[in-house]
């Protein structure tokens, strides 16, 4: 797809090879333009979604010793189920499906199941994650054909087991590495001759991982993706930087993949974007905060937030057995000393600019052990734009005018941070 504009490339990936080739032919023939290609992409994506198998209902039955989980489907599909620990959960991988379940369906708790989540895990693949009350054994995982006026059905039977038996079953189980199930990040265009700094924007969460949810239903993953797209547009318009997003749609990307992406592409700055929520009964907070990486959290709230954000992979059902458990292990290798200095410098600059556009938290600059900030050679910050759980913040977070104003402030912070480097580059060219 070399030589195609980014809109057409994304269209090719999202709608599949057959439709993509047809779109490619139109572009090559001069029949369509990037703007028309975007319209064609949207139409093709809508058509493709309409053709997906649909999950329409869910039921849970049983007791604290044996439980059956059932979902109704519009067509029979293949599934693969496995159990994971820390926390205990059952993960079910599916082809891409459309989930049309009642609101709050995932909050059902019955028998061995505490709750469940569902969503896109990668292009072409969906995932269902059942949180269990303890170690369980998967007795059966299968899909029944539609028959006798009844829809096709996904059935998961599970029973209680002890921790020793659970661990033994996990060790004996042979399965392909699950890192392949996690979607790869968006890849920027090759830049071997482009000396402009690469800014990687990281919209948090995505796909099966919704992030924080407002009482009125808005999702963190949607808010931060829209903000990242706004900020990218501003940075690209200025022409000083190359810009890439770790995700450009509603797809899950693991924390380690986000870090690997920024390093592999030689990012000059990594900005992870989030919108926090305070759990019910734990008070209220408001305003934006900029976080840097530290082995020791600056306060209890920073520690709570880092712990919550670091659970993103577990929420999506990623097998973490091969992942390092402790952020401190990465901090020990301090090729990071200079990187941490630059990260702190950018954080201070960002806070100074944000205060002109956004309401700030009472302590707007903090530090904690965020896994997504652990690239040892890329200055990295995590920006909490505000609180989804606070009515006034939510109103701002979902306002296009506020997003544009705040994105402008962050773009200015990036300009200020890179000004000395860009000036040196210009002086070098002049000489």
pLDDT in tens, 240-294: 999 999 999 999 999 999 999 999 999 999 999 999 998 776 667 899 999 999 8
| Per-residue confidence (pLDDT) for residue 421, from 0 to 100 | 76
Count of Cβ atoms closer than 10 Å to residue 40 Cβ: 20
Lowest mean pLDDT among 70-74, 105-109, 170-174, 230-234: 170-174
Highest mean pLDDT among 185-199, 308-322, 343-357: 343-357
Tell me how far apart the alpha carbons of residues 406 and 357 are, in angstroms, rounded to a whole number.
6
pLDDT of residue 342: 94
pLDDT of residue 186: 54
Share of the chain above pLDDT 90, in %: 60
Residue 423 has pLDDT above 80, yes or no: no
Cross-strand bridge partners of residue 384: 274, 289
Instruction: Give the pLDDT of residue 150.
Output: 92
CATH number of 54-175: 2.60.40.3500
pLDDT at 394 over 80: yes
pLDDT of residue 201: 98
Residue 43 has pLDDT above 60, yes or no: no
Q: What is the pTM of this model?
A: 0.77
Residue spans per domain, the chain: 1-38, 54-175, 181-429
Contacts with 17 (C-beta within 8 Å, 6 or more apart), sequence order: none
pLDDT of residue 347: 97
Residue 334 pLDDT > 60, yes or no? no
Higher-confidence position of 12 and 347: 347
Mean pLDDT of the chain: 83
Across residues 73-85, what is the average pLDDT?
93
State the CB neighbour count (10 A cutoff) for residue 311: 15
pLDDT recorded at residue 191: 47
CA distances from 105 to 71, 102, 388 (A): 11, 5, 21
- pLDDT exceeding 70 applies to what percent of the chain? 77
Look up the CATH architecture of domain 181-429. 3-Layer(aba) Sandwich (3.40)
Residue 123: pLDDT band (50, 70, 90) is: confident
């Amino acid at each position: 797809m070399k030589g195609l504009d980014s809109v057409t490339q994304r269209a090719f990936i999202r709608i599949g090879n057959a439709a993509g080739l047809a779109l490619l032919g139109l572009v090559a023939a001069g029949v369509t333009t990037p703007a028309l290609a975007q319209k064609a992409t949207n139409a093709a994506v809508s058509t493709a979604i309409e053709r997906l198998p649909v999950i329409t209902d869910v039921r849970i039955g049983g007791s604290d010793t044996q439980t059956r989980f059932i979902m109704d489907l519009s067509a029979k599909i293949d599934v693969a189920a496995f159990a994971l620990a820390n926390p205990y959960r059952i993960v079910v991988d599916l082809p891409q499906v459309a989930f049309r379940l009642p609101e709050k369906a995932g909050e059902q708790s019955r028998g061995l199941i505490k709750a469940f989540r569902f969503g896109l895990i990668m292009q072409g693949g969906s995932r269902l994650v059942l949180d269990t009350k303890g170690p369980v054994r998967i007795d059966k995982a299968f899909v029944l054909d539609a028959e006798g006026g009844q829809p096709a059905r996904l059935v998961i039977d599970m029973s209680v087991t002890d921790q020793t038996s659970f661990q033994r079953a996990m060790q004996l189980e042979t399965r392909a590495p699950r890192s392949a199930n996690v979607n790869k990040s968006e890849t920027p265009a090759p830049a071997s001759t482009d000396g402009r700094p690469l800014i990687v924007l990281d919209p948090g969460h995505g796909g099966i991982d919704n992030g924080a949810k407002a009482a009125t239903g808005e999702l963190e993953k949607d808010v931060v993706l829209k903000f990242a797209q706004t900020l990218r547009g501003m940075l690209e318009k200025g022409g000083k930087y190359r810009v890439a997003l770790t995700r450009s749609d509603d797809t899950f990307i693991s924390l380690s993949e986000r870090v690997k992406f920024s390093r592999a592409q030689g990012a000059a700055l990594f900005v992870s974007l989030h919108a926090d929520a305070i759990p019910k009964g734990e008070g209220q907070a408001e305003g934006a905060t900029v976080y840097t990486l530290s082995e020791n959290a600056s306060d209890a709230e920073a520690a709570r937030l880092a712990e919550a954000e670091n659970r993103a992979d577990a929420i999506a059902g990623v097998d973490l057995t091969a992942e390092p458990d402790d952020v401190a292990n990465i901090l020990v290798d301090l090729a990071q000393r200079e990187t941490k200095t630059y990260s702190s410098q950018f954080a201070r600059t960002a806070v100074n600019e944000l205060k002109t556009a956004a309401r700030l938290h009472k302590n707007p600059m903090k530090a904690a052990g965020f896994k997504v900030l652990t690239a040892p050679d890329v200055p990295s910050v995590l920006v909490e734009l505000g609180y989804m759980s606070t009515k006034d913040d939510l109103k701002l977070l979902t306002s296009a005018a506020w997003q544009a104003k705040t994105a402008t402030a962050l773009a200015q912070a990036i300009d200020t941070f890179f000004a000395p480097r860009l000036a040196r580059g210009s002086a070098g060219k002049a000489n």
